[in-house]
Chain A
């Protein structure tokens, strides 16, 4: 029986150390403004998470160097959301316990949905990096900082069918939430713009050989491929499109244009079209170019769109608080966000009005040897 007692001692100590592991005091109206961020610092998506974290940190440091928001310093609280729903929930709750004014969430739509109920219950303004159209349905406290996939799909479909004039479209996509939803919208818009979807092929994140998919695409007589992929699968598709001699024009999702993907794909990326939030490196915008310089100086690597988006998100929160004259309670912040009607971020334009659909622009760029060149910018009202 004594063993039971000792086990309980062990359990107790676990619980006690758990309680002791960090308890933050509540916020007051003159202390620092806390902004939370749940992002993947471990797990498979760290390669994206580190950009989100870097962009946000850079923004917070720059704001503080310039005097903070309405004289108050900003404190960024980052917690690791690993790569699972339960970990994301824990991270979000942990950040919540520090009573921030707003929370930035990572780019995985399913993980964003995992905390939706909590965000709604706590009325916590949450900036989500996911691009799924489902995110804003019924979630009044969600605000996007990356454009919805509907926008990206529409722009890609129109570019393929109307600008490039290729009516027979093959859609290749990931089997995850992003890829499947993307496929649904691409199919709809391709048909709407007058094209036909002659092939629908999918692959999962770990698949590195698309011979089967590409052979089917070849057989279908497609004239263009629209590819909804992540870093690795984008690179694989671009390479094998050339390697297998298929050489069809390719329009890819945002991941096709990042510096990491370019390293993986090498020359196979040249000529590929990418639908991106905004082209950071090549857009003729001195503000963006200067931002890229600052990022490279600070982090010693090329930025990608997730870093820009997170950076913009922090500044959006700043703008919202300023719109609310310094008030930081959730209702005021929400009103402050809705008052953002044309904020020009580094790579996107934001207008919230009365819902969370903030980012209004996507661009179609073509990858060249010295970086992406914008071909078309698509804005929605």
Chain B
């Protein structure tokens, strides 16, 4: 009884904090970092589909992120579309790139796939940088208008927070729905054993390609949100290094779970800011941190707290001792 009451209280507290967070934060610096982590969370959730659920390594997520950002920004700035029409197209454009990678990837595995996705990501970035007539080239796209809902302009950090939180909630809901659906089970089946999955009647081609497309779609949507909340994008943001960070977010948070990528994204966006006092040492420490995390909690934070993770089991033992 007490347990469940405690749980309900905890949930209510969490919800409450989430709803008033921007007002609790002292200034736009904090709000800006939180908003950035929400965007990365959406993009990381996309990566979670292809890696966490389907089991394929993709280092192209920053490329999809970028395709979404550029598609949305260019449609609005150059073609004068509205944000709400541009957003789905941004997602679809990224998804199309996902399909473009997914199809040749069908016969590749592990090292080869990883390398191919790295290559794709780099090529996408070079196109963004060099196809000046379309993308404005290396100078980037500036003065991207903010999002409008009716007459309300989402251009303040507070407004953006609620907007992004809403999208994140939507993304989490979709992920949770897929997780419990036949599609989700197909993804996981492919991850566990392709041959068995295929014998069970799963269309491998469709599942794999769709998984890439779905990952890319989320990345593209995240990109569009990024473009319209930052008002400026340039190609150097969507680099292989960024793909590594996104991948690490999924891994550290917990691949294959709904909350994992979110936790990873928030953690890895907040961490460099928290560690600013370390000045030049902080990136070196992040590197060490990654090694330690791989050694001690390779399945991510979420797993750590679950039934058979270290913290989960420790808590179980504490609970048992206290009820003796």
List residues of chain A with CB under 8 Å of any chain B CB: 1-8, 10-12, 14-15, 17-19, 21-23, 41-43, 46, 79-80, 82, 84-87, 89-90, 93-94, 96-97, 109-110, 113-114, 116-118, 132, 134, 138, 175-177, 179-181
Residues of chain A with a CB closer than 8 A to B266's CB: 11, 14
- Chain B residues with Cβ below 8 Å from A3 are 302, 305-307, 309, 311-312, 315
Which residues of B240-284 have CB atoms within 8 Å of chain A's CB atoms?
A: 242, 259, 263, 266-267, 270, 272-274, 276-277, 279-280, 282-283
Q: Which residues of A contact B198 (CB under 8 A)?
A: none
Give the contacting residue for B276; candidates A5, A12, A94; CB below 8 A: A94
In the complex the two chains form, is A2's CB within 8 Å of B137's CB? no
Contact of A175 among B129, B274, B279, B306 (CB under 8 A): B129
B26 contacts across to A, CB distance below 8 A: 19, 23, 97
- B288: Cβ under 8 A from any A Cβ: no
The 23 sampled A-B contact pairs (Cβ below 8 Å) are A2-B319, A3-B315, A4-B10, A6-B312, A19-B24, A22-B277, A23-B26, A42-B280, A43-B283, A82-B272, A90-B29, A94-B276, A96-B27, A110-B234, A113-B140, A116-B231, A117-B143, A118-B28, A134-B142, A138-B143, A175-B138, A177-B137, A177-B140
Binding site for A on B (CB under 8 A): 3, 6-7, 10, 13-14, 17, 21, 24-30, 32-33, 36, 129-130, 132, 137-140, 142-143, 230-234, 236-237, 242, 259, 263, 266-267, 270, 272-274, 276-277, 279-280, 282-283, 301-302, 305-307, 309, 311-312, 315, 319
Task: Report chain A residues within 8 Å CB of B279.
Answer: 41-42, 80
Please determine whether A90 and B36 come into contact, CB atoms closer than 8 angstroms.
yes
CB–CB B132/A180 < 8 A: yes
Say yes or no: B7 contacts A110, CB within 8 Å: no
A86 touches B36 (CB 8 A): yes
Q: Which of these, B36, B234, B267, contacts A114 with CB under 8 Å?
A: B234
A1 to B4, CA, bound (A): 9
Q: Which of B27, B230, B277 contacts A89 (CB 8 A)?
A: B230
User: Once the chains are docked, how many angstroms separate the CA of A292 from the CA of B272?
Assistant: 35
Q: Are A84 and B301 in contact (CB under 8 A)?
A: no
The 7 A-B residue pairs whose C-beta atoms are closest, nearest first, are A93-B29, A3-B305, A177-B138, A117-B231, A110-B234, A97-B27, A97-B29
Contact B7 A1, beta carbon cutoff 8 Å = yes
CA distance A301 to B237 in the complex (A): 32
* Cβ–Cβ contact B138 & A42, under 8 A: no
Name A14's closest neighbour in chain B (CB-CB): B270
A245, B233: Cα distance in complex, Å: 41
For B14, B29, B142, B273, which residue has the most chain A Cβ atoms within 10 angstroms?
B29
Q: Are B140 and A5 in contact (CB under 8 A)?
A: no
Please measure, in the bound complex, the distance between the C-alpha atom of A134 and the C-alpha atom of B307, giving whole angstroms.
56
> Given known contacts A7-B301, A89-B32, A180-B138, is B270 in contact with A18 (CB within 8 Å)?
yes
Which of A84, A89, A110 has a CB less than 8 Å from the CB of B138? A110
In the complex, how many angstroms separate the beta carbon of A78 from the nearest chain B beta carbon? 9
Question: B179 CB to closest chain A CB, in angstroms?
Answer: 15
**CA gap between A4 and B315 in the complex, in Å:** 12
B234 CB contacts on chain A under 8 angstroms: 85, 110, 113-114, 177
A369–chain B nearest beta-carbon distance, Å:
34
A7-B259, A14-B266, A114-B230 known; A176+B138 contact, CB < 8 A: yes
* Chain B hits for A2, CB < 8 A: 3, 7, 312, 315, 319
